[in-house]
Amino acid sequence: MSGMRQLDFDDYLEIFRRRWWLVTVLALIGTGAGYGLAHFLPKRYTSQTLVLVEQPTVPGDYVKPVITQDVNQRLATMQQQILSRTRLEPVIQQFGLFPEDIKQLSMEDLVQRLREAISVTPIRAMSGTEGRQLPGFNISVVYDDARLAQQICSTITSMFMEENLKLRQQLSEQTTQFLSKQLEDAKARLDEQDSKLAAFKRLHIGSLPDESNTNLNILTGLTTQLDAVTQALGRAQQDKTYAESLLAQQIETWQSSQVGQNPETLGQQLTARELQLSDLQSKYTDDHPDVIKAKNDVETLKKKIAENEAKGNAPKSDKSVKTAAEPPQIQNLRTQIFQLSEAIKERTAQQEEIQRQIKLYRARVESSPTIEQEYKELTRDYQTALAFYNDLLSKRDQSAMANDLERHQQGEQFQVLDPANLPDKPSFPNKQLFALGGSGAGLGLGVGLVLMIELLDTSLRSSRNVEFALRLPVLAMIPTIEGLASKGAKKSRMRASLVGT
């Protein structure tokens, strides 16, 4: 009839007044059916427990935790482990779950049913709370026996707490072991760098960068000492030359004052000339005129002595001849020349030693830039190895303290706030919800039936419907007189009474 009518709000109200009883009856029937269905369906009981994530008792500023994994991630990991077949199968066998299906279904199917009955729901942190740490989570177990639901919930909760403690201790121990191994390797590298640095210091002792200023100062002092020793050596050589010239003059004067040419006098002269020749040879080369003259004098005296011995004037025995002593002036000059010779030897040795030291320190100063570069490289490698070792040592100590904290259960722990409850009424089916659902279904069915009846109804109930159906205006309408004719006759008369233009 939708093609012959044009319904408005008043039409709908009229339909509701005529058909309200049908909708009401179906709604009541649906409510009763839903309530009855809830009464006969299998009962399901839900046991719940609330677990809070307790923060460490020792602040993180004192003992830094080594476990940085987010609690949400760790909870998801533990959930996968606990809800695995390996962990749930013993639970099924322990409590004898699903006795009616245990022989019909495989263990994998039974584990899946138990897994679906367990739910873990994280608790959201309150808005405005600092940080994003998980405050806790709920564990709920749905089963057809209230006591078993409570026991299963308690068992799953204990699994979570034990797994959390085990996981944290395991991670702490693994971290400590890893850091200990790394610390051993770092110590070996540090010892190697230390050995290289010590060997370099021993090899280049005195030439290290921190000794360069000292070497320069010592080199300056040695140069000054060399100048002083050189000057002193020059003065000693001059004094010795002057003393030797005086000695030669004194000896010549003294020899000329001796009377006769006896062998004893010639022997004394030969001895004096030989001493003078020895002094000249220690100072000059053999080509020097003084040395040549002294050699000639020695040869002349030897010839004279030989001639005297040939004539029979042999010298007397030393015991019978009294040798004339040299004058004190000559002896003093000889002593002075000896002292000057020793002083020259000493000054020469000092000069050579100072020159050797100057050469050594000059080489140290010249090699200082190259040694400094190598020393810096070794020192940098050593400092890097030392810093890495100290950093690992600090981390290892912190990890060890965190490990002790976990062993004493002073770290982050799961605390049961609400133990698993024993449900006193089933969570499924909910009779109120089923009744409400049945009522809604009845209402929907009633409304649907009313709409279907109205769609099948071809009667015209207003002038507006007539105009819409005939596309003609209505001039007059005769009201219905009840009881004069049947319903079909009334409709025929109404159609006949309509006059169109």
Rounded Cα distance between 487 and 501, Å, is: 27
Q: Average pLDDT for residues 156-161, to the nearest whole number?
A: 91
Predicted confidence (pLDDT) at residue 209 exceeds the cutoff of 60: yes
Rounded Cα distance between 75 and 414, Å, is: 11
Rounded Cα distance between 108 and 152, Å, is: 18
Q: How many domains does the chain have?
A: 1
Q: Do residues 185 and 385 make contact, with C-beta atoms less than 8 angstroms apart?
A: no
**Cβ-based neighbours of 450, under 8 Å, separated by 6 or more:** 15, 19, 22, 23
With b for 16 or more beta-carbon neighbours within 10 A and e for fewer, the 107-145 pattern comes to eeebbebbeebbebebeeeeeeeeeeebebbebbbbbee
pTM of the model: 0.52
Number of residues that this document lists for the chain: 501
What are the C-alpha distances in Å from 245 to residues 237, 238, 276?
12, 11, 10
The encoded tokens of residue 376 equal 């810096």
Predicted confidence (pLDDT) at residue 73 exceeds the cutoff of 70: yes
Query: What 3-state class would DSSP assign to 139?
Result: strand
Residue 475 DSSP one-character state: -
3-state DSSP percent of the chain in helix, strand and coil, to 5: 70, 5, 25
Average pLDDT of the chain, as a whole number:
78
Using CB atoms within 10 A of its CB, is residue 7 exposed (0-12), middle (13-18) or buried (19+)?
middle
pLDDT of 360-406, one tens digit each? 888 888 888 888 888 888 889 889 999 999 998 888 888 887 777 66
Decide if 227 is inside a domain: no
Q: Average pLDDT for residues 188-198, to the nearest whole number?
A: 89
pLDDT of 245-275, one tens digit each? 887 877 777 766 654 444 446 676 777 777 7
Lowest-pLDDT choice from 115-124, 207-216, 254-263: 254-263
Predicted confidence (pLDDT) at residue 336 exceeds the cutoff of 70: yes
Rounded Cα distance between 469 and 3, Å, is: 8
Sign of the C-alpha dihedral, residues 423, 428, 433, 434? Answer: negative
pLDDT for 477: 61
Query: What 3-state class would DSSP assign to 48?
Result: strand
Lowest-pLDDT choice from 69-78, 81-90, 488-497: 488-497
The encoded tokens of residue 348 equal 């020469």
Decide if 300 is inside a domain: no
Phi and psi, residue 139, nearest 5°: -120, 125
Q: Average pLDDT for residues 51-64, to the nearest whole number?
A: 70
pLDDT for 2: 47
pLDDT of 285-322, one tens digit each? 777 777 788 788 888 878 888 887 777 554 444 433 33
Tell me which of 67 and 249 has the higher pLDDT.
249
- For residue 457, name the pLDDT band (cuts at 50, 70, 90): low
In this structure, the number of other CB atoms found within 10 A of the CB of residue 256 comes to 8
Sign of the C-alpha dihedral, residues 360, 361, 366, 372? Answer: positive
Residue 210 DSSP one-character state: G
Tell me which of 353 and 473 has the higher pLDDT.
353
Decide if 392 is inside a domain: no
Decide if 402 is inside a domain: no
Integer-rounded Cα Rg, in Å, for the chain is: 65
The encoded tokens of residue 467 equal 């105009």
Rounded Cα distance between 37 and 14, Å, is: 35
Q: Give the β-pairing of 413-418 and 118-122.
A: unpaired
The encoded tokens of residue 456 equal 């099948």
Decide if 491 is inside a domain: yes
Nearest to 364 by CA among 199, 225, 222, 194: 222
**Cβ-based neighbours of 246, under 8 Å, separated by 6 or more:** 333
Rounded Cα distance between 485 and 42, Å, is: 58
Residue 494 belongs to domain spanning: 463-501
Decide if 492 is inside a domain: yes
Tokens 């009883």 belong to 21
Q: Do residues 64 and 423 make contact, with C-beta atoms less than 8 angstroms apart?
A: no
Decide if 201 is inside a domain: no
Decide if 494 is inside a domain: yes
DSSP assignment of 232-287 equals HHHHHHHHHHHHHHHHHHHHHHHHHHS-S--HHHHHHHHHHHHHHHHHHHHHS-TT
